[in-house]
Amino acid sequence: MPTLLISHPASLGHLVPEGHPERPDRMRAIDRALEAEEFQSLLREVAPLAPIDAALLAHPEDYVRAIEAAAPGEGEDLVGVDADTVMSSGSLEAVMRGVGAAMLAVDEVVAGNVSNAFCCTRPPGHHAERRRAMGFCIFNQAAIAAIHAQKAHGLKRVAVMDFDVHHGNGTQDIFWNHEDLFYASTHQMPLYPGTGAARETGAAGNIVNAPLAPGSGGREFREAMEGIVLPALDEFSPELLIISAGFDAHRRDPLASLNFVEEDFAWGTRKLMEVADRSCGGRVVSVLEGGYDLMGLALSTAAHVRTLMTR
């Protein structure tokens, strides 16, 4: 079965101020990389537009309505919803296409129509807490996808593993009190957003954080994965594994100081796929998060997708 790639041109319509790192060129760089001959066997689908109420799976109604009301109309100025998070007239569609992509990926993977799926949309989502937009993120696509898997498909245990260089405080916040939702993260610490200490374990031990010191590279990543994350994932035994696939731990990235290379992301992807093979018939959904050096992002995403395609 093929790997499913889900994207939409609306991702380019989420505009940001000049010099902002989370820019439309991120999508263009990935698109160019995935046009190579080796990726022609990908099954490519256009991300559907999820209804705004889909965000209610992970966010309360007052927050969802506030975001909906804040979205500027065509020709209006950018609106700040956080110190570094903005909305343009195209942002709400971009966000809801991202939510739609994640939900469609879950549907197709759980149905057994594809081997796995990668959602290539922006803005990212893992910093979006239940009631707060932050860190370039508005709604939390990975969390929405996990809860959608439970509500729509009857899955009981769903895990998200996040290897973005920044801790996914939003996913942790949403999952904290839900013993049937599991969140694991490797990330640089100290670094924005300041969460992600090993002592943060969730209400039912369902949160596992493996922080990495500045300057860490592939060796430290492998040690954290093999010593902490992978055993915890095996113990949780998810029925679906969602990857928050951020590539800003790459050594070229300007927003942090980890030293990953493309093979580190490929290795991590393989190890997560092996967990999924053991626990849930290989069911993996991957959702793009960060990555702000265009070359590092393109090379790392290609390595990640290439690995997904080995199934």
Residues in a beta bridge with 207: 183
Q: In the Cβ-directed half-sphere of 285, how many Cα atoms lie within 13 Å? A: 32
Closest to 160 measured CA to CA, from 131, 188, 179, 185:
185
Catalytic residue among 59, 126, 127, 304: 127
Closest to 154 measured CA to CA, from 173, 172, 180:
180
Closest to 143 measured CA to CA, from 178, 96, 175:
175
Q: Round to whole Å and give the CA distance between 277 and 83.
A: 41
Backbone angles phi, psi at 219, to 5 degrees: -65, -45
Please confirm, yes or no, whether 304 is among the known catalytic residues.
Answer: no
79-82/85-87 β-pairing: antiparallel
Active site residues: 127
